[in-house]
Amino acid sequence: MKVSRDQAFRKEKHGINLWVYPVGREEAGVVYVEVDEGHFQEFYHKQSTFICYILEGEGTFYLNGEAVTAKATDCIVIPPMTKIYYLGKMKMTLTTVPAWKEENEVHVRYIDKNEI
């Protein structure tokens, strides 16, 4: 199976641009992410592990309040129930295992740019 970018669902959300690839599997999902400043929403997912592979750029992921710096070629693995937000300018792939489902995402708070 091949899925092209023009088949992906594009969405803008809290400072990030997402392309969700319709892979048609419950076991995993694939998303391409571009961020210019940050993902200005802290959230967690009840079921999915998030695997972020940084293609370009650098930034800081905040995982349960702990700062984790990342740059191109780094891989950040985020278990379910971990509070997440991130800042920086990056392009990355995001694999979710199992596939992300909206009903399992929990909003914690919006991040005010003045906090940074």
- Over the stretch 31-72, which tens digit does the pLDDT of each residue have? 999 999 999 999 999 999 999 999 999 999 999 999 999 999
Q: What is the pLDDT of residue 114?
A: 78
pLDDT value for 95: 98
The candidate with the shortest Cα–Cα distance to 56, out of 67, 75, 71, 69, is 71
Indicate the average pLDDT of the chain.
Answer: 96
- Percent of residues, the chain, with pLDDT higher than 70: 99
C-alpha to C-alpha distance for 72 and 23, rounded to whole angstroms: 25
pLDDT of residue 113: 82
Give me the residue label for tokens 């809290």. Answer: 14
Q: Are 114 and 87 in contact (CB under 8 A)?
A: no
| CA distance to 72, 75, 87, 113, per residue, from 116 (Å) | 22, 23, 9, 6
- Give CA–CA dist 50/81, Å, rounded: 11
> Where are the extended beta strands (E) located within the chain?
9-13, 16-21, 29-35, 38-45, 49-63, 66-71, 75-78, 84-97, 105-110
Residue 116, pLDDT > 80, answer no
Domains of the chain: 25-111 (2.60.120.10)
- Cβ neighbourhood burial of 1 (10 Å; 0-12, 13-18, 19+): exposed
